[in-house]
């Protein structure tokens, strides 16, 4: 009787584990949850750093764009003063 029960027990257990989800690891899920997420986070961080460098380079107090705008403002100040004096 025990031999009859145990002979199909292993196969039934394997079939049950195979038919229900999340008992066996999936290589695709592992790649998705570990490799892809790490890659996506690294790429997002790289793009953020690039954007920060561009913003620091072009804008802001010491940036090229900020310096050029300041030069334009300084050039226009005498013109504005002359226009106010003539008006």
The answer on pLDDT for 5 being more than 70 is yes
* DSSP tally for the chain: helices H, then strands E: 4, 0
The span from the CA of 49 to the CA of 17, in Å, is: 46
Note the pLDDT of residue 18: 73
pLDDT, tens only, 12-55: 888 877 776 666 677 888 888 888 989 999 999 999 999 888 87
Regarding pTM above 0.85, the answer is no
**For residue 24, which phi and psi values (nearest 5 degrees)?**
-110, 145
Look up residue 76 and give its two tokens. Answer: 């226009």
pLDDT of 43: 96
């Amino acid at each position: 009787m025990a031999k009859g029960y145990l002979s199909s027990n292993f196969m039934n257990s394997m079939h049950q584990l195979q038919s229900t989800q999340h008992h066996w690891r999936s290589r695709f899920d592992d790649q998705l949850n570990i490799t892809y997420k790490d890659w996506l986070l690294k790429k997002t961080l790289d793009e953020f750093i690039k954007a920060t460098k561009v913003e620091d380079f072009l804008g802001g107090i010491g940036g090229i764009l900020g310096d050029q705008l300041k030069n334009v403002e300084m050039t226009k100040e005498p013109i504005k003063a002359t226009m106010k004096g003539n008006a």
